[in-house]
Amino acid sequence: MARVDGKVAIVTGGASGMGAADAEVLSREGASVVVADLNEADGRAVAERVGGNAVFMKLDVTDEANWQQVIARTVEKFGRLDILVNNAGVLAVGTVVDTTLESWRMINAVNSEGVFLGCKHAIPAMVESGGGSIINMSSVAAIHGQSFVAAYTASKGAVRALTKNVAMYCKEQKNGVRCNSIHPDGVATPMIVKVATGKDTASEEDIEKLRHVENICEPVDIANLVLYLASDESRYVTGAEMLVDNGSTITPPVGV
């Protein structure tokens, strides 16, 4: 249907999981896609698999200069920037008591500061293109809290709040840039499987086992919402927090 035909997108964390699915769906619907990730081997493989106008660019989302380079290279190559999917993220298990300051800072640097840097430097480029759509990946943890991932919960809460701040700023500036957040529950990705299994790495077999145990969300389910928010179909949607959680946030705790 070419729902994002002619648009140019950067997808962070594009080497695997939700980011890879986002890149595939956006490319299929007509966008030129920059697969941005630290993982060069898998990132290049995703760009090659996606085909079309997909390219890989190495990006450390915690590095401001790297952000500036990637955005400048994107505009130089494709002539514009219309879509930013701030998808890159990390997760570590730990309560507020167990979490080390080092872990806290690392997780917030990637999940929170990385999103801030993406928004900060993408907005001027999008304004030059006549507007655009920023899609920030948050989590249901930002809404109802998850005690076993304190740093992750805090970082995703920051993403939720920053999204609304960016949306309001852009509305006030009348610059044509929209910003929304997506809040998935557990998704069948290597990161979630590693947490569920306690393994350092997650194989496709591990992911398949998790699928059979639970009715778990698939990366493409998130990518389909990314596509909507990236397209002009959502031109009147900004500052929204979009739940993809099978009702988990409205399900009362056991015993209540």
User: What three-state secondary structure class fits 36?
Assistant: strand
- Residue 213 pLDDT more than 80? no
pLDDT at 209: 60
More confident residue, 177 or 199: 177
d(Cα 213, Cα 64) in Å, to the nearest integer?
41
Helix locations, 97-241, DSSP H: 101-108, 114-128, 141-144, 150-173, 190-197, 204-213, 219-230
Mean pLDDT of all residues in 47-74: 97
- Residue 210 pLDDT more than 70? no
pLDDT, one tens digit per residue, over 2-36 is 999 999 999 999 999 999 999 999 999 999 999 99
Which one of 152, 169, 228, 236 is the catalytic residue?
Answer: 152
Which domains does the chain possess?
8-243 (3.40.50.720)
- How would residue 189 be classed by pLDDT, with cut points 50, 70 and 90? low
More confident residue, 55 or 256: 55
With vertex at residue 94, the alpha carbon angle to CA 105 and CA 109, rounded to the nearest 5 degrees, is 20
d(Cα 105, Cα 101) in Å, to the nearest integer?
6
Sorted by sequence, the CB contacts under 8 Å of residue 215 that are 6+ apart come out as 246
pLDDT at 245: 86
State the pTM of this model.
0.90
Whether 152 is catalytic: yes
pLDDT, one tens digit per residue, over 217-242 is 789 999 999 999 999 999 999 999 99
Question: How many other CB atoms sit within 10 Å of the CB of residue 252?
Answer: 6
pLDDT at 192: 60
Amino acid sitting at position 105: R
More confident residue, 181 or 207: 181
